[in-house]
Amino acid sequence: MTLAAAVRARRWVPALALGLACQSHAAGTGDGGAWLQRAVQASRNVSYAGTYVHTNGDRISTVRVTHVNANGEEHERIEALDGPPYEIVRRNDEMFCYFPDAKTVRLDRRVNARFFPSLFRASADVIAASYDVKLGKTERMLGYECQWLELEPRDNLRFRERLCSESGTGLVVRARTLNEASQVIEQYTFTDLKMGPQVARGDVKSIFEARVKQWITDSQPREEARGVDTGWVVNNPPPGFRKAAELRRTLPGRGQPVSQLIYSDGLASLSVFVEANPSPGRTAEASTEDGSTTFFVRPMGDQLVTVLGEVPLVAAQQVGRSVGHRP
């Protein structure tokens, strides 16, 4: 095979993969849906290691991520490179958060935690029910040929998303969230990335593992993540948002655990917190937005409802104003 023929053959591989994906995908979503499905699957199945920069509003953080899929199990290591050091090691849904300064390891079960490029919380079909998925332009990024996916929300209750998917594997290498004025309000982008066999199984082990026997273990978050019936319900969630979890969390500075309901449309998510209205209590609604994060608080009798999530304010208000007792 000549070099030119080899190059042509390599170019056909993504197209072939896309063709196969299209065959297995529900009709009607087209190429965009097939690419989205590849991106969702790649975030779980591809082994990758790299450094990404996360910009949300005015804040920037740098994170090193290593992800390995071995024998069907996901292993991931997240290392914060800015600010106080911490490391999160995940095996499927089991999370170990290491805080070296405090010599503490926090045990938790993954409920809503997602780290780039694994931003998806549901299948492509579920996501495509809330977003119109179209193919954008192709672009070379970090040395890889990439395909932009445009996820246009079907209503004003979620933000527009743009995902840049590496053509060979489908892995997302850049993601942008845009507001209604088409301004980028949040962005993830790899600054270096390696994939496949270049990533070793040992790279996802905690660098603190050997020392952790001397550390304090906080296993309460894992207990709380099991979920409970809080007695609260959101009567009017935005279309496509389904309840992902319901639990009681211990938050700093509070005597009693706070009820938390988590909703997601497969891409965006929000949390609803219900707790006793402190004395002197809040008496009026308030809200603030920064980057993709919206905060909305509403007094409800002797309770205080707080909504926080990556959704427009109108969605947070709709959710917060429809919280009630479960019948």
Cβ 64 to other proteins shortest distance, Å? 11
Binding residues for other proteins, rule CB under 8 A, total: 68
208, 217 contact by CB (below 8 A):
no
C-alpha dihedral sign at 146, 180, 184, 43: negative
Among residues 28, 143, 197, 280, which is the contact residue for other proteins, using CB under 8 A?
280
Among residues 22, 80, 233, 244, which is the contact residue for other proteins, using CB under 8 A?
80
Please give the structure tokens belonging to residue 107: 């045990």
Site for other proteins contains 66 (CB under 8 A): no
Cβ 325 to other proteins shortest distance, Å? 21
Q: Alpha-carbon distance 51 to 108, whole Å? A: 24
Helix, strand, coil percentages in the chain from 3-state DSSP, rounded to 5: 20, 45, 35
49, 67 contact by CB (below 8 A):
yes
Binding mask 216-255 for other proteins (x = CB under 8 A): x-x--x---------------------------x-xxxx-
Q: How far is CA 169 from CA 35, 57, 84, 145, 262, in A?
A: 10, 30, 34, 10, 30
107, 212 contact by CB (below 8 A):
no
Cβ 266 to other proteins shortest distance, Å? 17
Residue 181: left if φ>0, alpha if ψ -120 to 50, beta else—which one?
alpha
Site for other proteins contains 9 (CB under 8 A): no
Among residues 169 and 269, whose Cβ is nearest to other proteins? 269
DSSP symbols for 218-237: E-HHHHHTT----SEEESSP
Cβ 63 to other proteins shortest distance, Å? 7
Among residues 21, 97, 128, 323, which is the contact residue for other proteins, using CB under 8 A?
97
Among residues 269, 274, 311, 319, which is the contact residue for other proteins, using CB under 8 A?
269
Site for other proteins contains 278 (CB under 8 A): yes
DSSP 3-state of 92? coil
Cβ 77 to other proteins shortest distance, Å? 15
155, 163 contact by CB (below 8 A):
no
Q: Alpha-carbon distance 173 to 81, whole Å? A: 19
Cβ 50 to other proteins shortest distance, Å? 16
Among residues 41 and 62, whose Cβ is nearest to other proteins? 62
Residue numbers of the site for other proteins (CB under 8 A)? 54, 56-63, 80-86, 95, 97, 99, 101-104, 106, 108, 110-113, 179, 181, 183, 185, 216, 218, 221, 249, 251-254, 258, 260, 262, 269-271, 273, 278, 280-291, 293, 295, 297, 306, 308-309, 313
